[in-house]
Every structure is written in structure tokens, then in C-alpha cells.
Chains A and B, each alone.
Chain A
Amino acid sequence: MTATSATAPQTRGQAPPLSSRVGIGEGIAQSFTLAWRTVVQVRHNPWELGDFSIQPIMFVLLFTFMFGGAIAGDWQSYLTFMLPGMIVMNMLFVTLYVGQGLNTDLTKGVFDRLRSLPIARWAPLAGRILADQVKQIWSIILVLGVGMVLGFRLGNGITGMLGATALLLAFALAFSWVGVVVGIMAKDPERVQIYGFTALFPITMVSNVFVPVETLPGWLETVVDANPVSTIADAVRGLMLTGAEAGPIIETLLWAGGIAVVFAPLSVWMFKRRT
């Protein structure tokens, strides 16, 4: 074999001196390179977007027409009340894809390969989380789009909508660490969905997403008010409908910070134990 063959190792003359650390900028570039995987996946298989679009569409239609009249008197006003909360619920469910993708990487050994490369230690995790923000944006557009076709109107203009999107993404970034924890805990990707759904479904239901709190018995109202999902739903409703309210927005950001502070180190710790 000659030194020019595809498998030949770098000889000393060609080899650049070895670096001893990865810069932040390089780490960010690597995270984006890893996030690119998701975009490519969607390009190969656009149906994958369809797969996780059907359920939100179905939920919007179901709740609007089945329960709308009973809860709010007429379905049009229920749509206005419910849709922002529906977007919040969807955002939470989409964070499970982070866990699912991570679990696939872990069980298929892709993570070992990535960790054997001279890249930032945090890039594989960050890349995974970043990648799924693409899905977040898609699902926000989707639910909002379906709502608008049915007659939902943004009462607080385009800036309010952009503000709501930014807030949702900020919370999603933090909540993705919960997805990461589930992804590390679960034996296989299917179980990530099962665990995640089992935990998220009651949390989103016992909130003010679908019903006004005033109708609830007192003790339940206390629980619902304490639920962060209610807080985010309030913040998003304000931003999309009636005007930004500082209270719920700040509370949402505090929750996001708190979740990140607890679950990011926890997932890194669990990650070290699993690998």
C-alpha cells in the first residue's frame, strides 16, 4: 500500500500539532453539525413530520368540537381559550423526542463513537437538544395554523406571537433536560414514549389548559394553580391574546431555570453512570 491510500494514517509530517482542548466556538459548531442530522432525517422522510403532526391536529379538532360547546358555550370561544394551552401541551410532548433520539444514540452505540471523537464533551447532548428545536418550531406552526384555519385570531399581534414562540422555545430547551433524563433511564426508545406519556398526560390535564379553573373544586384549583403548565399556559395566552403579563412570564422563566438547574446536572450524572 502506498501512503496515499484511503486508509493510510497521517504521517508525522502532515499531522498538525495536537490541540489540548475544544474552544466554545468549536463546540457550538459541532453541536449544530450534530443537529443537522435531524434536518437530514426529515428531508429523507418527510412522513416523519406527518407522524407527529396527526395527533396534535386530532386533539385540536376533538377538543374544539367535542368539548368546546359544553365547556365554553360555543366552540369558537373555546378555541380561543384552549389553543394557546394546546401549544404548550404539544411543546412538552415534543421534548420527549429529545429523549427518544438520545436513547437511540445510546442503545445503537452512536454515542460511543461520538464520545471517542475530539469534540466538546457537551456537544452530543447539546446537538440532540438543538436538533429537536426544529420539531418544536414545526409543531408550534402546525397547531397555530390549524387553529387559524378554524378561526383562531392572534389578539396581541405578530410581536405577541413571536414573544410566545420565544418563551415556548426557552421553556422547551430547559424541559428537554427532563427528556434527556428519561432517555438515559429507559431501556429502549419505545419505553421513552411510554414513560414520558404516562408522566406528561396527567400533568397537562390537571392544569388550566382545557378548563377554566373557576369550575373546579377548591382543592383541585389549588393543585392546578400550582402546576407550572398552568403558568406557561397563562403566559402564552397573554402573549397571544390579551397582552403580555409580566407575572406568568417571569414565573415561567423561573420554572425553566429551576428545571434546567436540577435536571441538567442530574442527566450529566446519570449519563456518566450509564456509560
Chain B
Amino acid sequence: MHAPQAAYAVQADGLVKRFGETVALDGIDLGVRTGTVLGLLGPNGAGKTTAVRVLSTLLTPDSGHATVGGYDISTEAHQIRQLIGLTGQYAAVDESLTGFENLLLIGRLLGMERSEAKARARELLAEFDLSDAGGRAAKTYSGGMRRRLDLSASLVGRPRILYLDEPTTGLDPRVRLELWALIRRLVADGVTVLLTTQYLEEADELADDIIVIDHGKVIASGTPAQLKAATGTQTLAVRPSDPSHVATVRAVVAELSSTQPEVNGSLVTAPVSDPAVLPAAVRRLDDAGVVVTELTLRSASLDEVFLSLTGHPTERNEAHSGAA
């Protein structure tokens, strides 16, 4: 009945969650295929954490339906808790305990014998390169070490389904790469992962499928390649030195990118997917006798992805006024 090899490890239909006036989830549908990584991408306040908290049985949705590992979140929460591991947005470690004791505590709570829980704690500390720090109070840990301890705490019970809420936010690039490698290893071991992130790049690196949410609604979904094709991965920006040339520049950029460029003062921008547009742009503008002060091709920021997906810019600050 609850076959672990079901096509979808996590499936949600029409999840709605309100906090007073705020609609954090406004009818979310999603599915995480067993053994794959789903990237839940969205700006601050999009509803990522709320979605994770609902799917990990910490919050009950106001309406909608979801199953995790074949179990219903509203009636079979206890079974689900035996299947999942949760690494929340903020490292949830007891700072007054050592790393080892943090893991021991979880093991004991999961019903392991003392010796078994100790062995498991040691094993995970070694796996996450924390053996040397294992005897130190977690309050002395660096951000990266805390994250690793947090992640290992969610793995004590060998979960088949793992939720990672912004696992690399606030970490330096080296630590981020380390964590990516760890997550890949988990996936290779057969863990199903639901990962939230604000970084397109991270979703691109790790996810098999991506869902983009904004204001609690799914605004796009697909594989990373599909999304990139739909949004353009890079942005071409051109600023003529003579503002009267904006119309000409606009026409050139429109033709090269096959989209309607954005014009902001004298700056013309458009999403493009082919890096070869840069030399082409140089030639065309030269032919047209336009002198430019700025001509760049850069990776699309999340804002631009949103812009091209929704037609409106993200409203980061407005959406993020509530509790963290």
C-alpha cells in the first residue's frame, strides 16, 4: 500500500495557509519524485518555509491535501515523522550541548539504545568532518559547522525524505560548495530531497525539478533547463552614451534577444540565452553608429527571473515584513 518506490515521495494539492491577513500559501501544488531533488525557489516571504513546515507536519494547512511517503499529513503525521528529516532555515542545535550530545539526544529520542545512539553520533560526526569538534559545546561552532551539525542531526534516523530549508544561505562560497557535495552524496544514497533556496544557481546545481513560487503561488515549474530556456539565463545590458540613441539600441536588443527589452532611463536590458549575442551586439551597434558607455552580459538575478516569469518585480521588502 505505502510502497516506498511510489513515483512521488511528496505530493501536495492546493495547500493554503494563512497567518491573519497574510496568505503564506495560496493553493500550492507540488510533487517530489522519489529519489530526486525538488528545488523550491522563491524570494523572501514567498512561502518556502511555510510549505516546508506544512509538509513536515509542523503546521496544519487551512485547506488542501498532501501526502508524504504515501501517508496523509493531516491524519498520519506520526508515520510521516518516522520517514522525514528536517533541516530548518536556522540551524536548530542546542547550543549548550556538545555536537556529540546533540546527536546522541536525537538518537535516544528516536528510540535507539544508548550504545547504538552513541555509535550513530560518532559515525555522523566523522562523516560530516566534525569528529574533532564533537566534544565542544555547539555555541563555539562556526556557521558552517553549525549547519553541518544541523544537517547530521536530521540524518540520525536515516530518513528517506529530507527537507532542507535554505541550507546554504549565509554561508561563504567554500562552505556552500562543501554542502552541495554532501547533498549530492545523500541523493546518490537514494534520499529524496525537497530543497528551498533563493538562489537560481543553487537550484540549478542540485535540483532535478524546480518550482518557482511567489506570494504563495506557483508561478513556474519544470526542469532547470526548461526554466532557463523560458527565462533566459543571462541579461544583456546596453547604455548608449547619447540618450537619443535609446530607440535604436532598443530595436537592436529586441532583435537579438527576441523579447521586449526593459528600458530604464537610458539603460536597455533583456534576457538572453545565447552568449554569442555579445559580439553580435557589438557589431550591430557599431554598424548603426551608436557609441555605448556600458555593454554587459551577466547572469540573470533572481529578480530578473521573476520579472520575466511574472512581469512584475519581486516585492521583497513588502512581503517580508512579518515574522521570520
Contacts and interface: CB of A to CB of B under 8 A. Distances in A.
Interface of A: 1, 3, 5-12, 18-22, 26, 30, 33-34, 36-37, 40-41, 44-45, 105, 108-119, 275
A9 B190 contact: yes
A29 to B, nearest CB: 9
A116 B54 CA distance: 11
B86 A116 contact: yes
Given A7-B186, A118-B110, A112 B127 contact: no
Contacts of A9: 158-160, 189-191
Interface range on chain B (Cβ under 8 Å from partner)? 35 or more
Interface in B185-244: 185-186, 188-191
A109 B83 contact: no
Contacts of B84: 116
Interface string B82-95: 11111011111111
B318 to A, nearest CB: 23
Contact of A19 (B82, B97, B126, B153): B82
A110 B101 contact: no
A116 B58 contact: yes
Contacts of B188: 1
B104 to A, nearest CB: 9
B12 to A, nearest CB: 17
B191 A20 contact: no
Interface stretch (B39-47, B73-81, B245-253, B276-284): B73-81
22 contacts: A5-B185, A6-B126, A7-B158, A8-B158, A18-B71, A33-B108, A34-B109, A36-B105, A37-B105, A45-B96, A108-B90, A108-B92, A109-B89, A110-B93, A110-B94, A112-B58, A112-B88, A113-B154, A115-B58, A116-B81, A118-B81, A118-B82
Interface string B127-166: 1000000000100000000000000011101111000000
A40 B190 contact: no
Given A6-B126, A108-B93, A116-B56, 4 more contacts: A7-B191, A112-B92, A118-B110, A119-B109
B59 interface: yes
B123 interface: yes
Nearest to A45: B96
B313 interface: no
B275 interface: no
A5 B108 CA distance: 20
B153 A8 contact: no
Nearest to B122: A6
A80 B185 CA distance: 67
B75 to A, nearest CB: 10
Contact of A117 (B106, B160, B182, B186): B106
B230 to A, nearest CB: 33
B109 A33 contact: yes
B257 interface: no
Nearest to B101: A40
A40 B97 contact: yes
B124 interface: yes
A109 B86 CA distance: 11
A124 B180 CA distance: 32
A5 B127 contact: yes
Contact of B110 (A6, A11, A112, A117): A117
A111 B94 CA distance: 10
Q: Which 4 A-B pairs have the closest CB atoms?
A: A109-B92, A6-B127, A118-B81, A116-B86
Given A7-B191, A9-B191, A118-B78, A113 B86 contact: yes
B58 A275 contact: yes
B170 interface: no
Given A5-B127, A8-B158, A117-B110, A109 B78 contact: no
